[in-house]
């Protein structure tokens, strides 16, 4: 198995993702510049957090038109796992691979803290090894993480079991329905606001995020 971590101008969690995949999960992983990304060599892709293109127009919108996203869409259509973390989630939404929008936090401030979430679905490429209903802790770090979608689409996400994670106890950004992560109808494309790569080693404060990457391995196998 071979995984690509796609690097955009302004990515800043790219090396974190590479470290977890290569050194912790022990999977062949390459950091690939977005203009050089070709999906034919990879079995999965991760779009890391950061500030792609400085978030100058709208978080993730410029990166959504990067040459890399054509290959990412092809991977998604082929059923390969695609994970967007934080800014990567914003890119997936802006490119149309996931529904909805990510708006500015309701507190109008950048929020960086550990949060508790409940696992709502284990049917996706990145949540299959969790136990449904269990709680997990991971850090968030974003200014535009408030998930919003039209009512009829929200009902569809609920009915089709596409809501993966919900905030518990505290909603740190005002997301609709406490949503912290979703997947597409085919279950292989996942977008998250929390950072699993920052919660994959106990020395960092917890390793609940590691299960996301282990789930990816199981899905591909």
CA dihedral 139, 121, 201, 24 (to 10 degrees): -130
Active-site residue 34, yes or no?
A: no
User: Catalytic residue among 86, 120, 142, 144, which?
Assistant: 86
Q: What is the DSSP letter of 29?
A: E
User: Catalytic residue among 13, 142, 144, 195, which?
Assistant: 195
Q: E strand or H helix at 58, and its extent?
A: none
- DSSP per-residue letters across 69-122: HHHHHHHHHTT--EEEETHHHHHHHHTTSS-SEEEPPTTSS-EEEEEEEEE---
Active-site residue 197, yes or no?
A: yes
Q: Which of 98, 29, 104, 35 is nearest to 63 (CA)?
A: 35
Q: Is there a contact between 57 and 47 (Cβ–Cβ < 8 Å)?
A: no
Q: What is the DSSP letter of 127?
A: T
Q: Is there a contact between 140 and 110 (Cβ–Cβ < 8 Å)?
A: no
Active-site residue 13, yes or no?
A: no
Q: E strand or H helix at 204, and its extent?
A: none
Q: Is there a contact between 97 and 91 (Cβ–Cβ < 8 Å)?
A: no
Positions annotated as catalytic residues are: 86, 195, 197
């Amino acid at each position: 198995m071979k995984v690509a971590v796609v690097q955009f101008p302004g990515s800043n969690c790219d090396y974190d993702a590479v470290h977890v995949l290569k050194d912790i999960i022990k999977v062949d992983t390459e950091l690939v510049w977005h203009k050089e990304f070709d999906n034919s060599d990879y079995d999965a892709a991760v779009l890391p957090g950061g500030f792609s293109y400085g978030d100058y127009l709208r978080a993730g919108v410029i990166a959504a038109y990067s040459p890399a996203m054509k290959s990412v869409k092809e991977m998604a259509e082929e059923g390969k796992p695609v994970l967007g973390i934080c800014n990567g989630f914003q890119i997936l939404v802006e490119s149309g691979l996931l529904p909805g929008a990510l708006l500015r936090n309701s507190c109008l401030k950048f929020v960086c803290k550990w949060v508790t979430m409940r696992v709502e679905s284990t049917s996706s490429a990145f949540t299959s090894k969790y136990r449904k209903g269990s709680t997990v802790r991971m850090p968030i770090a974003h200014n535009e993480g408030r998930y919003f979608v039209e009512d009829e689409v929200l009902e569809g996400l609920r009915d089709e079991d596409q809501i993966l994670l919900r905030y518990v106890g505290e909603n740190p950004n005002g997301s609709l329905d406490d949503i912290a992560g979703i997947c597409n109808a085919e279950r292989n494309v996942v977008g998250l606001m929390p950072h699993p790569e920052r919660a994959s080693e106990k020395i960092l404060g917890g390793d609940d995020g590691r299960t996301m990457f282990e789930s990816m391995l199981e899905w591909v196998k």
